[in-house]
Amino acid sequence: MSMQLFDLTGNRALISGSSQGIGLALARGLASAGASVILNGRDTGKLEAAAATLRSEGANVEMLAFDATDHDEVRKAIDGFETATGPIDILINNAGMQHRAPLEDFPADAFERLLQTNVASVFHVGQACARHMIERGRGKIVNIASVQTALARPGIAPYTATKGAVSNLTKGMATDWARYGLQCNALAPGYFDTPLNAALVADPEFTTWLEKRTPAGRWGNVDELVGTCIFLSSNASSFVNGTTVFVDGGITASL
């Protein structure tokens, strides 16, 4: 009985930014729990390659290419999919980017791109999906936050600001939409070996610092995010709303 709480069979999950890295790992994990997954991104070639990989593993995969920072394009894509194919039961708002520079020299255009990609996309895709979820009286939204939701490091102040905003927007989503049967939460990864962190992974000095700073003493493996994502996407989290769950090896718990 208890394992049935985590069964996603019969649910369809849209994962934004899912052609690689954390998004692809979460798509694979949700598929393993029984969900049909919809891969999203702007590069159709990368999406097709990711879809082929997941299908070869037995997953039921669809693709929906759109720019998550374009409100009108998002609305058209989501509405069109719901009409033509069926409901999106689970949304994983994963699209994101990073830009590193000293704050005093941080380019204004890079700051704007961070805001659009890391914050506005959560609003655009979240709102488009929630409108349909509200009509059905159910739905799961999981926004991908970060260890930088709670902490800061030199050179990434704007990224830190965007991820703090994701956590607060998640609280707002829950406050507005829980009454309609939606559960809206955030998953905050610590330091994981992903393409977004490639420069840090390749830096021995940073890795040494990270291993000392993290109680678990290592980088995270993206597969270690899957369990929390399944929990937040399933009936097991039916009364969990507006929270940010850190999966970070203990880094936010320790000085």
Q: Report, as residue numbers or ranges, the catalytic residues.
A: 159
Give the strand pairing for 90-93 and 12-15.
parallel
The total of other beta-carbon atoms located within 10 Å of residue 40's CB is 28
DSSP type of residue 107: -
Rounded to 10 degrees, what is the CA torsion of 161, 47, 7, 81? Answer: 90
Ramachandran region, residue 181 (left: φ > 0; alpha: ψ -120 to 50; beta: rest): left
For 118-175, the DSSP string reads IIIHHHHHHHHHHHHHHHHT-EEEEEE--GGGT---TT-HHHHHHHHHHHHHHHHHHH
Torsion sign, CA atoms 148, 15, 225, 21: negative
Query: How far apart, in whole angstroms, are the C-alpha atoms of residue 152 and residue 147?
Result: 8
Euclidean distance between the first and the last CA atom of the chain, given in angstroms as a whole number: 40
Using alpha carbons, list the distances in angstroms from residue 28 to 52, 168, 242.
12, 27, 25
